[in-house]
Every structure is written in structure tokens, then in C-alpha cells.
A = this chain, B = another copy of it.
Amino acid sequence: MSGAVVHPLPRPVVTREVHLVRRPHGFPEHDDFALVDRELTGLGDREVLVANHHFSVDPYMRGRMNDIPSYVAPYALGEVMDGRAIGTVLASTADGIAVGDLVRTNLGWRTHGIAPATGVERLDVPDGVSPSAYLGVLGVPGLTAWVGLLDVAGLRDGDTVFVSGAAGAVGSLVGQLARLRGASRVIGSAGSSAKVAWLTDELGFDVAFSYRDAPVRRSLRAAAPNGIDVYFDNVGHDHLEAALASANDFARFAVCGMIAGYNDTADQRSPGVRNLAEIVRKRLAIRGFIVTDSLDRNAAFLQEVTPWVAGGHIRSRETVVDGIDHAVDAFRGLLRGENTGKMLVALHDS
């Protein structure tokens, strides 16, 4: 990522990085990763040295740990895992980016890093918004929710909307956006009673339930006696089966992810979905999407959602794990659903 060093730093900076050293088989283990310290000594032209404050761990990263062709290249073994991060500029040879600027980069799981200017985005954070929001509700997860609900599922006034993984970074915004955009009923599933309480008591979901309490199909039928018109899928499997069973005619499904199967292996796979015939019977439209196809929608997304966040109409939460040494714990916790809202790693000492 760094070019020829033509601008030595006043003194070297030591960065600690998380490298992928073995491709996980099923659920990721600590030994799949290694902590590596490296010394950064200087910058090339048009480069920026950043001290990360926070970086993001996201479900999609599990897919990148496999060596299969996908919409983003797999992580290379022995390399740092990139991903969205925010931090402060410590040194810069790039026009328009100055020491002290708050920036968003793709530097990922490390304390410090050097990025080309083209991979650095200066953040102007309005009053009432925390910088880390640009990794969550105003970041890629927020754009994912907005694009999926509005562009992919085509939310309409009066729709009943069901979102799985509703207490996650994406799902919690889907529900709130649906409410603000005219849905008549918003239903969410999550993995604990505390999350369920957060959804209904603070985020304005009409109904929420824990998928651990009862079969999802039964819970959803009780929550949506008149059926659902939109399903935003973060989970797949039993949640998708339930949504198919409760779908109204001509319902639209935006499929964002299927975290339930992310750790499947060739010899141990989640059960298949059995009621796909509902697709015909109910004339369903099911569309998968990936937010990176819709980055041109980011300006419109921020224009609509930033005031809602700043004004408190949209709420968000972060689950913050402290320290680069616990990044793998954060990621494993994410896959187990231990987060409420956006899962972040904070680097207070950098």
C-alpha cells in the first residue's frame, strides 16, 4: 500500500496489525489470526499516515476469509485484513489532507497505517453526531440499510416490514427507516430479550421477538397476523423460511446477507430452505444486493439520514471492544450475535 519512501517520518511509528494466517474451517479460531508489529518509517508521494481510533468488524468479512471467488477478493494469508476504519492523520504528503484531519480509510485491523490519498476520505462531522457513526449508522451499514429497503425492496406506504438481525448495525436502521418512511408495521427479530426491548422501547419497532424463544415461523406469524410485504434478510435459513410462510402476495425481499450459514463447511451445512414454492404461489420478488454496487447513492443517503441522526430521530448503538489485541474476540462475538448495533474495535492508546 505504500510507495517508495521519499519522505522519512521524524521518528518511526510501530503499528500492530491483525493478519489472517490460516483460513478458518467453520467458526473462526484465534489461531487463524496473528498479531504482527511492524515499523513504519516514511511516506511516499500522496500518502497519509493515520492513527486509527476505531475499525469495523463486519459479517461480510467471514466470506473474505475463504479462498473462493466472490464480489470482493479474499483476504490474503499473512496480510493485514482491510476494512473501514476512522482515525487521525499523523503525517501527510497529500494535497488537501492535513495533520490532525479526521479521516475514513480502508486500513482495517491495525493501529496505524499508510494509505494512498485516493483511499482517504476527510470527514466533516456535524453537531450531534459522533465520528464513529461513519462506521455505522452513517457508514456502509447505514447505506446498506437505506439502499436495501428503498431501492431493492421498494418500500411503499403502508407496508408491513420484517427485518432479521434487527439489533445489528444494518437491521436497526432498516426498522427505523421503515417507520420514518411510512411503513404501517415494523417487526424485528434478534437474539436476546435485551435486544428485543431495545428495538421496541427505544427504536420504535412495533413488535420484536427473540429467535431463541420459539420457532421463528410461529413468532413471525403472531407478530404479523396480516402478513408481511417486505422482508429484509440478514440471516437466511429459518428466518427466510418464516418470511416465505408469512409473505403476502407480491411481497418483496431484499437479501442483504445470510449470516446463519457463514460458518458452514462442506461437511457441516445448515439445513436447506424447504418452502421455496411460496415464491410462485405468492409471486414474490427476491433480490440479493451488495452495497458496493450502490456507492453512487451515498450522497443521497447522507442527505436524508444525517439530519435524522443529528436530531435524534434515528438512534444507534455501538458495541465497542477495546484494543487491537481483542479484535478477533470482537469478530467472533459478532458472528455469535453478541453485539447490539455496530460492532467496533476501539484503539484508545493510538
Contact between B261 and A277 (Cβ–Cβ < 8 Å)?
Answer: yes
Query: Number of residues in A with C-beta < 8 Å to the partner?
Result: 33
Known A236-B276, A272-B271, A276-B236; judge A288-B283 contact (CB<8 A): yes
Contact between B276 and A280 (Cβ–Cβ < 8 Å)?
Answer: no
Contacts of A284-312 to chain B: CB distance below 8 A: 284-290, 293
What is the predominant secondary structure among interface residues of chain A facing chain B? loop
Chain A positions 65 through 78: 1 when the CB is less than 8 Å from some CB of chain B, otherwise 0: 00000110000000
CA distance A258 to B276 in the complex (A): 8
Q: Does A230 contact B (CB under 8 A)?
A: no
Contact between A286 and B286 (Cβ–Cβ < 8 Å)?
Answer: yes
Chain B residue nearest to A284 (CB atoms) is B288
What B residues does A271 contact at CB under 8 A? Answer: 272, 274
Q: Does A115 contact B (CB under 8 A)?
A: no
Contact between B293 and A277 (Cβ–Cβ < 8 Å)?
Answer: no
CA distance A256 to B276 in the complex (A): 12
Residue from the set A71, A256, A286, A288 with the largest chain B CB neighbour count within 10 Å = A288
What B residues does A326 contact at CB under 8 A? Answer: none
Chain B residue nearest to A286 (CB atoms) is B286
Residue from the set A257, A269, A271, A287 with the largest chain B CB neighbour count within 10 Å = A287
Residue from the set A271, A276, A282 with the largest chain B CB neighbour count within 10 Å = A276
Contact between B287 and A284 (Cβ–Cβ < 8 Å)?
Answer: yes
CA distance A257 to B256 in the complex (A): 25
What B residues does A289 contact at CB under 8 A? Answer: 280, 283
Contact between A280 and B293 (Cβ–Cβ < 8 Å)?
Answer: no
CA distance A271 to B71 in the complex (A): 28
* Extra contacts besides A63-B281, A280-B290, A285-B286 (15): CB < 8 Å: A71-B249, A71-B283, A255-B276, A258-B277, A258-B280, A272-B272, A278-B288, A280-B288, A281-B288, A282-B288, A283-B288, A283-B289, A284-B288, A285-B288, A286-B286
Chain A residues engaging chain B, CB cutoff 8 angstroms: 63, 70-71, 236, 240, 249, 255-258, 261, 269-274, 276-290, 293
